[in-house]
Amino acid sequence: MPPYVKAQHDPGSGASASTDSAQYNLSPTEEVQRLISRGQLSEAETRLNSLAAQQPEPAGLERMRGMIHYQRNNFAAANLAFEKAILQDGNDLLATQMRGVTLYRMGQPAAAIPFLERANSPIASVNADGTYVLAVCYLDVHRYDDARRIFAQQYKISADSAASYLFMGRMLLRRDHPAESEQMARKALQIEPGLPLAHLLLGQLALSRSNAAAAVAEFEAERTINPMNGEVYERLGDAYLRALRYEDAQQSLNCALLLEPNSTGPYILLGQVLLKRDDALTALNYLLRAERMDSSNHLIHLLLGQAFRALGRKEDATREYKMAESIQNAGENQK
């Protein structure tokens, strides 16, 4: 999730922070904010606690306390601090926005929306992250028209344009809403039948449903509109492979290689196609090239094992099968 990435710890000493404070003539609260921005959270918290003992308490301290908790991923404590900051100052829009972002991170998008909406217009140009989170919250509660409006604003396109609907389709697929994603892509094509990438999205959706024939039709339509896009040929080659159209798959994947020579996908798929066509030697050449590009891909090693086995090289095949299993097990252990 991109918004509000946790700050990296700055190893600078307290003495250097004090020197900076004097150099830039910072107030005590500005100094705390500077420490937070530099990731010196423990020192910032110590100074904040000292300031909080003053009467009256300086403005903005609870917001800064919330930022410290947020950057430590302690969202419950951050939420309480931002809530207190808003009670102290109802016009603290940064605290308002950060409470919304925190609630989203706590898995409460519906609760987050009112805070994000209130802060969005006045400070959206300063902090685009909050605007993005608001749009994602709209997605999560199925307010798709509102989400489309926000995304269109960010990307400076008309909310009712074909591009806006296609963007929504891609975002909905990313959020695992395939049916709604397809609706948006088809709406985009209704508005602009020649829109690039819309058929590509529909083809991806068809592949996810294991409907190879529908995927082929969509990718072929995309190829007509968008003939210089290497990804189109790679996806089309994959669809042909699944439809058992091996010669068409090989031709399409060769086109993909010409356009995207540094992508491993076409090499892997060509290896699969050539194994299906009983050409293990040529498959091996493509798969070895893919392995040089990405040696940690377990599928490449699995296919290399199949190629070596077809060529009668049993020791090499066993080595590759073991490598594939080792990489796969390592990946599962990391989850």
Model pLDDT, residue 127 = 56
Could you give the C-alpha distances from 279 to 3, 117, 181, 210, in angstroms and in order?
48, 59, 39, 26
Give 222's contacts (C-beta < 8 A, 6+ positions apart): 196, 197, 198, 199, 200, 203, 229, 232, 236
HEC profile of 306-321:
HHHHHCCCHHHHHHHH
For residues 13-23, give the mean pLDDT: 47
Tokens of 234: 């790679």
Q: Which of 269, 267, 317, 316 lies closest to 294, judged by CA? A: 267
* Residue 95, φ and ψ in degrees, nearest 5: -65, -40
Q: Give residue 54's pLDDT band: very low, low, confident or very high (50, 70, 90).
A: confident
Model pLDDT, residue 24 = 58
Residue 64 CA to residue 33 CA, distance in Å, equals 7
Where are the chain's structural domains? 1-117
Tokens of 157: 């396109």
Give 60's contacts (C-beta < 8 A, 6+ positions apart): 29, 33, 85, 89, 92
Please write the tens of the pLDDT for every residue from 240-283. Answer: 999 999 999 999 999 999 999 999 999 999 999 999 999 999 99
Model pLDDT, residue 9 = 40
Q: Which of 42, 98, 47, 110 lies closest to 72, judged by CA? A: 42
Model pLDDT, residue 123 = 55
Model pLDDT, residue 335 = 61
Model pLDDT, residue 10 = 40
Q: Could you check whether the bond before residue 56 is cis, i.e. omega within 30 degrees of 0?
A: yes
Domain 1-117: state its class. Answer: mainly alpha
Q: Give residue 40's pLDDT band: very low, low, confident or very high (50, 70, 90).
A: confident
Model pLDDT, residue 214 = 98
Q: How many CB atoms lie within 10 A of CB 72?
A: 14
pLDDT at residue 72 tops 70: yes
Cα dihedral sign for 105, 107, 109, 113?
A: negative
For residues 311-332, give the mean pLDDT: 93
Which of the residue ranges 74-88, 117-131, 155-169, 284-298 would you say has the lowest mean pLDDT?
117-131
Model pLDDT, residue 299 = 97
Q: Give residue 136's pLDDT band: very low, low, confident or very high (50, 70, 90).
A: very high
For residues 302-309, give the mean pLDDT: 97
The answer to whether the beta carbons of residues 242 and 215 sit under 8 Å apart is yes
Model pLDDT, residue 219 = 98
Q: Give residue 156's pLDDT band: very low, low, confident or very high (50, 70, 90).
A: very high
Model pLDDT, residue 129 = 77
Mean pLDDT (the chain) is 89
Tokens of 210: 């294991």
Tokens 């990296």 sit on residue: 8
Q: Which of 36, 27, 34 lies closest to 59, judged by CA? A: 27
How many CA atoms, within 13 angstroms, populate the side-chain half-sphere of residue 271?
A: 24
For residues 153-180, give the mean pLDDT: 95
Residue 209 CA to residue 149 CA, distance in Å, equals 29
